[in-house]
Amino acid sequence: SHNLSDISILCNYVYLQKLELPHNKIKLSCVSHMPYLVILDASHNEISNFFEFQPPKNLKEVNFSHNRMTKMKDLSAYLSLNTLNLDNNFCEISGLEQCCKLTHLSLAHNKISRISGLDSLPRGNQLEMIEGLENLKSLQVLDLSLNRISSLSGLQNLHLLGSIDLEKNLISEIQECKHIHNLLLLRDLNLLRNPVQEQPDYRLAVVFLLQHLTMLDQKKVTAEEKVSSVNKYDPPLDVVAARDHMTHLVYQLMQPQVTLPSPDSPYPMLVLTGPQGCGKRELAHRLCQEFSEYFAHTCHTTRAAYFGEENGLDYHFVSEEDFQNMIPMFIQTLQYGGHSYGLTRDAIEEVAREGLACCVHMELEGVFSLKNSYFEPRYILLIPIQVEKYTGHLKKRGLYSQAQIDAAVSRIELYTNTNKQRPGFFDNIIPCDREEAYQMLRQAVKGYLLLEEQEEGEDNIRASPDNTSTSGQAPDTPRPGTDQAAAVVSPTSDRRPGSNVKPILPPIPTGR
Ligand SMILES: Nc1ncnc2c1ncn2[C@@H]1O[C@H](COP(=O)(O)OP(=O)(O)OP(=O)(O)O)[C@@H](O)[C@H]1O
């Protein structure tokens, strides 16, 4: 750092192996007199000529960063070079084809729009790491084929990149593509002859992660591939529900006898839906307790019972193996947070035989699935209004990991969008983070049950069979706890299960 400009005196030091002259204004012609030079640091000078000296046979490390070079030349004579720092110089990289020992190339802060010519670096000595590319903001085409690169990290900010050729490298993980996920102009990626090709569903997974690609591995990405990849890795709710429904429909057709439900006598059900942890489970529980003569909860899950949960009451807790064996019995299932949840026909029938309606809670996919079925439940959406409060509540519960919390929070939008885009999809919407959520819920349910008058003292008034009015009830409507009721709900009754269910929910409006 002494602003040296003339170093011709060094011409006499022919045995020099290491020359460090950063931050000067030197010219390098004297290097031609140093055949044994191994390390050269001429960074931060004003050198405009690239390698303008006779090649020292063993020159291994060269630092030319921060100079004024604009044009590269063929470096085939510099056979021993393994480390080359060219930060802050060039517009185009070339001439490295014969640098067979190059393993470390730094190209930070250049104006390079095209990197090529690195593809013929001989095997066994290929680049393992390219440094400094992150600042090559104008780079559009990157050819790093035939190297030993195993990560795409460092490319994430090259927003103008349209083409990356990494054929025959060591990329082995599909997740590496996440590094280039935000490159919206990237159309062409070549990962041929990388170990990643062996990963199951490699092509669909890459097409999913890089949705702007038009060419992958020198093959056009088709519209069908794009749709299949989204359906596989982030299926829309309708697709999840349709698949679930299809499975259960097939099994249903294989069942010896279908009892519930039937299109002519819909079985009443109440479904609470909303993102996980919004309190559906407790609310459903309270409802089933308060309205125990109307509702019972019945769902199966493979998740372990939380403290205080009871088998058969909160869920039927079963092993994953049992759950899989029961698949033919389900009318709806969902994999959520690594666990399986489902509603079996048998469980619904058991509730129905007791003269009760099912009150279940589920994620939105379950609702979509039920909407495909014969069932015509009432759907109540429980939605958090204040995200921070909801997040705090999830944390306080101490049941969920941060990832689960994030997933639950991110799904709020799914619910609100569904509500916006499909008017009438939900019968009621209740802000679940309000103190009075349960009061609002029971009010809605009482509305369904036409129970208002009963509260006002008319004890014996129940919902009419046709649900059209609450007054002038048929006096012989069975009351819970009476012999008559017992007769109707007797499990030994030979009437069709479900036919004794109280006609509690008003008919579903047509056109839903
Ligand atoms: N049969 C089903 N189909 C779809 N989703 C279901 C089903 N049964 C339960 N779920 C939903 O799966 C998610 C996880 O269930 P879990 O019982 O662990 O909920 P939770 O953590 O207690 O949250 P919440 O308070 O929302 O019930 C919940 O959103 C629940 O409503």
Q: What is the pLDDT of residues 217-233, one digit of tens each?
A: 999 999 999 999 999 99
pLDDT of the residue at 118:
61
The ligand 1 atom at the shortest distance from the C-alpha of residue 363 is 5
Q: For the range 76-85, what are the long-range contacts, defined as Cβ-Cβ under 8 Å and sequence gap of 24 or more?
A: 78/51, 79/55, 85/43
Residue nearest to atom 30 of ligand 1 (CA): 362
Residue 214 pLDDT > 50, yes or no?
yes
Residue 485 pLDDT > 90, yes or no?
no
Whether residue 333 contacts residue 341, with contact meaning beta carbons closer than 8 Å, is answered with: yes
Residue 117 belongs to some domain of the structure? no
**Which CATH number covers residue 320?**
3.40.50.300
Q: What are phi and psi of 234, to 5 degrees?
A: -150, 65
> Residue 507 burial by CB count (10 A; 0-12/13-18/19+): exposed, middle or buried?
exposed
pLDDT of the residue at 511:
37
Residue 177 belongs to some domain of the structure? no
Helix (H) or strand (E) holding 361: strand 357-362
Residue 464 pLDDT > 70, yes or no?
no
Residue nearest to atom 24 of ligand 1 (CA): 277
Residue 478 belongs to some domain of the structure? yes
pLDDT of the residue at 173:
95
From CA 316, how far away is CA 303, in angstroms rounded?
10
Report the percentage of the chain scoring pLDDT > 70: 78
pLDDT of the residue at 509:
38
What is the residue whose two structure tokens read 């510099």?
78
Residues with beta carbon inside 6 Å of ligand 1?
A: 276-281, 299, 303, 332, 334, 336, 341-343, 361-363, 366
Q: How confident is the model at residue 148 (pLDDT cuts 50, 70, 90)?
A: confident
The ligand 1 atom at the shortest distance from the C-alpha of residue 339 is 14
Give the chain's mean pLDDT: 81
pLDDT of the residue at 495:
40
Q: Which of 275-289, 410-424, 431-445, 460-474 has the lowest mean pLDDT?
A: 460-474
- 285 CA to centre of ligand 1 in angstroms: 12
Residue 477 pLDDT > 50, yes or no?
no
Task: Give the tens place of pLDDT for each residue, 399-424.
Answer: 899 999 999 999 999 999 999 999 99
- 305 CA to centre of ligand 1 in angstroms: 12
- 386 CA to centre of ligand 1 in angstroms: 20
Q: Which residues pair with residue 2 across a beta bridge? A: none
Reported ipTM: the value is 0.96
pLDDT of the residue at 264:
63
Nearest to 354 by CA among 273, 438, 437, 298: 298
Q: How far is CA 209 from CA 18, 180, 340, in A?
A: 47, 9, 26
Residue 322 belongs to some domain of the structure? yes
More confident: 508 or 55: 55
Residue 214 belongs to some domain of the structure? no
Residue nearest to atom 17 of ligand 1 (CA): 281
As for how many domains the chain has, the answer is 1
Nearest to 370 by CA among 238, 478, 259, 258: 238
pLDDT of the residue at 491:
31
Name, in order, each residue with C-beta under 8 angstroms of 181's C-beta and a sequence gap of 6 or more: 156, 209, 210
More confident: 271 or 87: 271
Residue 393 belongs to some domain of the structure? yes
The ligand 1 atom at the shortest distance from the C-alpha of residue 337 is 14
Residue 86 CB neighbours (<10 A): 25
Q: Which of 142-156, 228-242, 287-301 has the lowest mean pLDDT?
A: 142-156
Residue 348 CB neighbours (<10 A): 25
From 247, 363, 430, 432, give the residue whose CB has the most ligand 1 atoms within 8 Å, as the site to mutate.
Answer: 363
Residue 256 belongs to some domain of the structure? yes
pLDDT of the residue at 505:
45
From 280, 335, 383, give the residue whose CB has the most ligand 1 atoms within 8 Å, as the site to mutate.
Answer: 280
Residue 199 pLDDT > 90, yes or no?
yes
pTM over 0.90: no
Report the percentage of the chain scoring pLDDT > 90: 45
Q: How confident is the model at residue 510 (pLDDT cuts 50, 70, 90)?
A: very low
More confident: 315 or 451: 315
pLDDT of the residue at 44:
92
Residue 359 belongs to some domain of the structure? yes
Mean pLDDT of 295-316: 91
- 361 CA to centre of ligand 1 in angstroms: 6
Helix (H) or strand (E) holding 93: strand 92-93
Residue nearest to atom 6 of ligand 1 (CA): 362
Q: Which of 143-152, 231-240, 318-327, 498-507 has the lowest mean pLDDT?
A: 498-507
pLDDT of the residue at 482:
32
Nearest to 500 by CA among 511, 510, 485: 485
From 269, 276, 285, give the residue whose CB has the most ligand 1 atoms within 8 Å, as the site to mutate.
Answer: 276
From CA 510, how far away is CA 490, in angstroms rounded?
33
pLDDT of the residue at 2:
75
Mean pLDDT of 421-431: 93
Domain range for residue 415? 238-489
Q: Which residue type sits at 431? A: P
Could you give the 3-state DSSP secondary structure of residue 275? Answer: coil
Residue 323 pLDDT > 70, yes or no?
yes
Residue nearest to atom 14 of ligand 1 (CA): 276
